[in-house]
Amino acid sequence: MRILVTGGTGYIGSHTVVELINNGYDVVVIDNFSNSKPIVLDKLKEITGKEIKFYEMDLCDSEKLREVFKKEDIDAVIHFAGYKAVGESVSKPLMYYRNNIDSTLSLLEVMSEFNIKKIVFSSSATVYGDPEKLPIKEDAKLSTTNPYGSTKLYIEGILKDLYVSDNTWSIAILRYFNPVGAHKSGLIGEDPNGIPNNLMPYIVKVANKELPSLNIFGNDYDTSDGTGVRDYIHITDLANGHIKAIDYVINNVGIDCYNLGTGTGYSVLEMVNAFKKTNKVEVPYNIVGRRDGDIAACYADPNYAYEKLGFKAEYGLDEMVESAFNYAIKNSKK
């Protein structure tokens, strides 16, 4: 079985490529390096012992994409490619709509032409907006508060319409909670450009003395210690969720959405304390005002993914914070 992985040199894509190869799949990767680096391909070879078949191209380029589908005997697709920074999407909405939606339309059109109708799509827990009930189930009300989230919600809608028009498609929509950590080798991990927006990469840079201190956005939420609560999931667990999903779409038709989370929420302070304790480092912080658009708490009901796909997260908080720091130390640009 040969899987096309779009955005396969990115954070989640690269970890998924490793697990696909570990599970005996052939992999073809497309990426335009808009948010990743060519060196990831060398690291993937080092980890897996396999040369990765790779096309550097923009997924919006349907002509080039047709060439890839002509050359490679693709059985199914995992579609990661897209822009993902919430704040940037607010300042550059057209860039986000153009890239995320155009690339998906181009992919789905070319897949239809080649009669390849099996796809796993990267959605996000952001489509739940400010949840009315916790833990969040897949049938919760959907809403978004920023253009990035809207692109995910629109693409979910496009996939649903596509399935209604042709029910020979097999589509798994994966709603990720908060992926963190890195592969155990320390060769691949999360490497955001500039000052990170997300909590874990920020903590890592503070611990590594690349940034002076963490700003904790609010300690007056209605949570156990007042700081925001999220469902952090180890990147290797998340990658393994894709193996379960691709196995499922290869063997079944239909469309469905699945939460990929652990079901446990941790507060910002719990994350900071776990990081300090496990890695034996200091993480100085200041409590500042709430960040615009943030919600108090968000964690998954992970049962549907378990019942239907057999997916259950295995790694705990210690492994998340340990692997995140291990990658940072091995790849520090200090």
Q: Is 11 in the site for ligand NAD (CB under 6 A)?
A: yes
**Segment lying near ligand NAD (by CB under 6 A), choices 24-32, 89-97, 299-307, 308-316:** 24-32
Residue 54 binds ligand NAD, judged by CB under 6 A:
no
Q: Least distance in Å: CB of 128 to ligand UDP?
A: 11
- Measured in residues, the chain has a length of 334
Q: What Å distances lie between residue 167 and 118, 163, 252, CA to CA? A: 11, 5, 11
The residue of the chain with the least Cβ separation from ligand UDP equals: 228
Partners of residue 266 on adjacent β-strands: 230
Measure the CA–CA gap between 277 and 279, rounded to whole angstroms. 6
* 223 near ligand UDP (CB under 6 A): no
Please choose, out of 93-101, 185-193, 211-219, 257-265, the segment that lies near ligand UDP by the rule CB under 6 A. 211-219
Strands (E), 273-320: 285-288, 297-298
CB 81 within 8 A of CB 106: no
* x/- letters, 105..144, toward ligand NAD (CB under 6 A): -----------------x-x--------------------
Q: Which residues inside 54-93 make contact with ligand UDP, applying CB under 6 A?
A: none
Distances (CA, A) of 51 to 17, 18, 48, 57, 88: 12, 12, 8, 18, 34
Binding site partner of 7, from ligand UDP, ligand NAD, none, Cβ cut-off 5-8 A by kind? ligand NAD
Tell me if 216 contacts ligand UDP by CB under 6 A.
yes
Integer Cα distance of 246 and 19 in angstroms: 12
Half-sphere exposure (Cβ direction) of 39: Cα atoms closer than 13 Å: 5
Residue 202 within binding range of ligand UDP, rule CB under 6 A: yes
**Hey, how many other C-beta atoms are within 10 angstroms of the C-beta on 192?**
16
Our CB check for ligand UDP shows the closer of 46 and 130 to be 130
| Residue 243 Cβ vs ligand UDP, minimum distance, rounded to whole Å | 24
Site residues for ligand UDP, 290-319, by CB under 6 A, read 291, 294
Q: Following DSSP, what letter does each residue of 168-210 receive, concatenated?
A: T-EEEEEEE-EEE---TTSSS----SSS--SHHHHHHHHHTTS
Nearest to 107 by CA among 150, 38, 168, 162: 162
Catalytic residue among 25, 96, 148, 327: 148
Is 268 an interacting residue with respect to ligand UDP (CB under 6 A)?
yes
Tokens of 32: 């335009």
Question: Which of 43, 84, 234, 242 touches ligand NAD (CB under 6 A)?
Answer: 84
Q: Which stretch binds ligand NAD (CB under 6 A): 21-29, 56-64, 299-307, 308-316?
A: 56-64
When asked if residue 176 is in the footprint of ligand NAD (CB under 6 A), the reply is yes
Distance between CA atoms of 12 and 283, rounded to whole angstroms? 26
Q: What six digits make up the tokens of 76?
A: 């199914």
Out of ligand UDP, ligand NAD, none, which partner does residue 80 contact, by CB within 5 to 8 A per kind? ligand NAD
Yes or no: say if 77 and 120 are a contact pair by the CB < 8 Å rule: yes
- Of the candidates 168, 124, 109, 68, which has an alpha carbon nearest to the alpha carbon of residue 257? 124
User: Could you confirm whether 154 is annotated as catalytic?
Assistant: no
Provide the binding-site residues for ligand UDP, judged by CB under 6 A.
178, 197-199, 202, 214-217, 228, 230, 268, 291, 294
List, by residue number, the catalytic residues. 148
Provide the binding-site residues for ligand NAD, judged by CB under 6 A.
7, 9-13, 30-36, 58-60, 80-84, 99, 103, 122, 124, 176, 179
